[in-house]
Amino acid sequence: MTQQPFWQRKTLEEMNRQEWESLCDGCGQCCLHKLRDFDTDEIYFTTVACTLLDNNTCQCSDYTNRKKIVPDCIFLTPEIVNEVDWLPPTCAYLLIAQGQDLHWWHPLVSGSSETVHEAGISVKGKITAYDHEMEEDEDYIPHMVGVSG
Ligand code: SF4
Ligand code: SF4
């Protein structure tokens, strides 16, 4: 009998480091800035990318040193996945935390790192600006693309 893949039989807390890292689909969506309306608590997604996000690969261009260069970069943990409200609904960590399965385009399912781009899930070709180009909070407004929930 074939064993189920790890993401179908383990919780986020049970995954080892290699499994945890491989669970990221490489969409890059969490590396785009969001705006929070403090009156309504709504999150607005933007197409403004973190300065380290590579527009072509949708990967962090200095993953090892990212926290030194971008101090507010958040390292995901199972606790953070369960706490925050700004992960995109397609995020693999969120799907597993919610008891769902991965989609066909996830590299672990498809066997290819390209399918997340082919399915239009990644931010490839969607970045309209970088945060180092923003001078004030208002500069993000023309790059807003939607609201959470
Ligand atoms: S949104 Fe989730 S799956 Fe996509 S890059 Fe970020 S952590 Fe990985
Ligand atoms: S520093 Fe953090 S937010 Fe910026 S691209 Fe790298 S992983 Fe994404």
Contact 130, 49 (CB under 8 A): yes
Residue 66 is predicted with a pLDDT of 95
> Residue 149 has what pLDDT?
53
Is the residue at 1 inside a domain?
no
What tokens were used for 140?
A: 């993000």
29 lines ligand 1 (CB under 6 A): yes
**Ligand lying nearest the CA atom of residue 52:** 2
Q: Is residue 122, in this structure, part of any structural domain at all?
A: yes
What is each CA distance from 149 to 4, 74, 80, 86, in whole angstroms?
Answer: 32, 21, 18, 10
Distance 28 CA to ligand 1 centre (A): 6
Give residue 92's pLDDT: 98
Task: Please state the pTM of the whole predicted model.
Answer: 0.93
Residue 138 lies in a domain: yes
Centroid of ligand 2 to alpha carbon of 44 (angstroms): 18
With respect to residue 13, please indicate whether it lies within any of the assigned structural domains: yes
CA 45 to CA 86: how far, in whole Å? 9
Per-residue pLDDT, 2: 79
Q: pLDDT means per 10 residues in the chain (149 residues)?
A: 91 98 97 93 94 96 95 96 95 98 98 97 96 95 82
Alpha-carbon gap, residue 82 to 99, rounded angstroms: 12
* Cα 55 to ligand 2 centre (Å): 12
**The pLDDT value given to residue 147:** 73
**Domain containing residue 101:** 6-147
| In a domain? residue 55 | yes
- The pLDDT of residue 1: 65
Strand pairing class (32-36; 43-49):
antiparallel
User: What is the number of structural domains in the chain?
Assistant: 1
Tokens for 123, please give them. Answer: 């931010």
Per the domain annotation, does 77 fall within a domain?
yes
